[in-house]
Amino acid sequence: MDREKVIVIDFGGQYNQLVARRVRECNVYCEIYSYRTDLSEIRRMNPKGIILTGGPNSCYEADSPTCSAELFSLGVPVLGLCYGAQLMMHVLGGKVEKAPVGEYGKTDVCVDTASPLFAGVSEHTVCWMSHFDYISHPAEGFRSCAHTADCPTAAAEDRERGLYAIQFHPEVLHTQEGTKMLYNFVRNICGCAGTWRMDSFVEQTVRELREKIGNGKVLLALSGGVDSSVAAGLLSRAVGRQLTCVFVDHGLLRKDEGDEVEAVFGAEGTFDLNFIRVNAQERYYRKLAGVSEPEQKRKIIGEEFIRVFEEEAKKIGAVDFLAQGTIYPDVVESGLGGESAVIKSHHNVGGLPEYVDFKEIVEPLRNLFKDEVRKAGLELGIPEHLVFRQPFPGPGLGIRIIGDVTPEKVRIVQEADAIYRDEIAKAGLDRSIGQYFAALTNMRSVGVMGDERTYDYAVALRAVNTVDFMTAEAAEIPFSVLQTVMSRIINEVKGVNRVMYDLTSKPPGTIEFE
């Protein structure tokens, strides 16, 4: 796509994706690249601006990630953040040393509001610091434009060359006016017009899909999740009934979810496409009978999906394109984007399915973050209940049921989860919690209901707040809400006599149970 953009060069910082998201919130398109990216490739991209991320190293050590001094002579504004700021100084002849006093957490910073970077920012502002090195002598041509009690150069600028270095992290929410600082850089200093919007993205992507696909046939595995649903919506608008969506209902979806997906994309829905629903519940239950080991369950569910999808693909015959709901974090985390990638095998990136007869992959959401995918979904007219659906693992309830999977256990966790989600929505918390769901433990305990003793299952409630799903903290749900959920689950869900709330953070725990 031919559009103005700012690029983020990643030096191993934990906030690389967050930096790019904050830039996009300024309506400026942004992509992440490793510091190993060749300078000629950066020139070819013709960015309007460059941002250098933080990182865990000391820039003065011999084997630390670095960059060429030429990067700062491209005639493009550059903003260095934390390690990126120190590296800019180090490469250009300044001095970076171990700080007499490290700074961590919220810190009062005094800024020079005459700097274009701090226009409209309070003279005394709170910023998020995380550093044990500091800039002891700025490079020639730079002047300090911010300081703290312990850090004489919390920010430096060479306005003439468009080079800016800040020691703190403007991308995190703890930096109170960080968004304003990034806006100043990308919109005012870099001169970006700010035309990156979802309505224009949808229109442009639909045009490009039509041009690419022509009269070709497209096949998409539709899970009913946000990513595949928005991909289906885009492709439907672009090529209509040249698109076939195969929806495999493995019986491990949330309550009524299969019917909800069919209502949107099936014959009675609003999208023009071929929709095939495969009701494979009994097939999955047979395969999973007596299996309790988590990885074995995942493997069975994944392999059975391939078998079912393969069978349907054979009925359809050869297609020109296989569509996937790959989104930008998938690309980055698969080692194809930034440097701080957690290399993982992802179903949307790598390991192309050899069992489908196709010529080319098409990934209409490849450049979007999750929040942008949701905006695109609303723009396409996909119902809010689907667009804002909670994250859901590929193996579905198979990994939210501890131990073996049975139809009865699936019923229990579906009903408990539906009640939980209903009460969270009634309390107005559904958009503020990162992820929440009910899981069925493998524990049975004695209880008393009426005048009878019971020996039934315990349901665990999970709710976390997270920015990137790499780390998470348990959400603080009001006790009255939890009490209501508990009371409803025990009274309405046969087979449950105990409800627990999981307070575990990530790490040491994971967000999902298995």
d(CA 73, CA 126): 32
Residue 346's pLDDT is what?
A: 34
Average pLDDT along the chain: 89
Say which residues have a Cβ less than 8 Å from residue 22's Cβ, sequence separation at least 6.
170, 171, 178, 179, 182
pTM for the model stands at 0.76
Of the listed 169, 245, 333, 415, which one is catalytic?
169
Catalytic one of 31, 171, 372, 415:
171
How much is the CA Rg of the chain, to the nearest whole Å? 26
Q: Hey, what are 306's tokens?
A: 């391939």
Q: Is 147 a catalytic residue?
A: no
Residues in contact with 149: Cβ distance below 8 Å, sequence separation at least 6, in sequence order: 108
Centre a 10 Å sphere on the Cβ of residue 114 and count the other Cβ atoms it contains.
Answer: 9
Residue 172 and residue 18 in contact, taking contact as beta carbons nearer than 8 Å: yes
Compute the distance between CA of residue 143 and CA of residue 159 in angstroms, rounded to an integer: 9
> Once rounded to an integer, what is the mean pLDDT over residues 70-74?
94
Q: What counts of helices (H) and strands (E) characterise the chain? A: 14, 18
Q: What is the pLDDT of residue 44?
A: 93
| pLDDT at position 223 | 87
Strand-by-strand arrangement of the 360-362 sheet: 274-279, 243-249, 218-221, 321-323, 360-362
190 catalytic per annotation: no
Known catalytic residue at 169: yes
Quote helix, strand, coil % in the chain, to nearest 5. 35, 25, 40
pLDDT for 2 equals 57
pLDDT at 335: 53
For 14-23, 31-40, 270-279, 498-507, which range has the lowest pLDDT when averaged over its residues?
14-23
State yes or no: pLDDT of 345 exceeds 70. no
Whole-Å CA distances, 510 to 3, 82, 245, 400: 38, 29, 32, 12
Answer yes or no: are the C-beta atoms of 332 and 341 closer than 8 Å.
yes
Please, which pLDDT band fits residue 204 given cuts at 50, 70 and 90? confident
CB of 415 closer than 8 Å to CB of 293: no
pLDDT tens-place string over residues 59-70: 899 889 999 999
What integer is the mean pLDDT of 280-292? Answer: 95
| Whether the Cβ atoms of residue 235 and residue 364 lie closer than 8 Å to each other | yes
Tokens (6 digits) for 495: 């087979």
Q: What is the largest CA-CA distance in the chain?
A: 83
Q: Which pLDDT score, from 0 to 100, does residue 467 have?
A: 67
Strands (E), 112-242: 124-137, 143-147, 155-158, 163-166, 218-221
**What pLDDT is stored for residue 207 in this prediction?**
92
Asked if residue 386 lies in contact with residue 223, where contact means CB atoms within 8 angstroms, the answer is no
Please identify which of the residues 30, 59, 82, 190 carries the catalytic annotation: 82
How many CB atoms neighbour CB 191 within 10 A?
A: 11
Q: Is residue 256 within 8 Å of residue 225, measured between CB atoms?
A: no
For residues 338 and 195, the model is more confident at 195
- 378 exposure class (CB count in 10 Å sphere: 0-12, 13-18, 19+): middle
Would you state the structure tokens that stand for residue 328, as one six-digit string?
């930008």
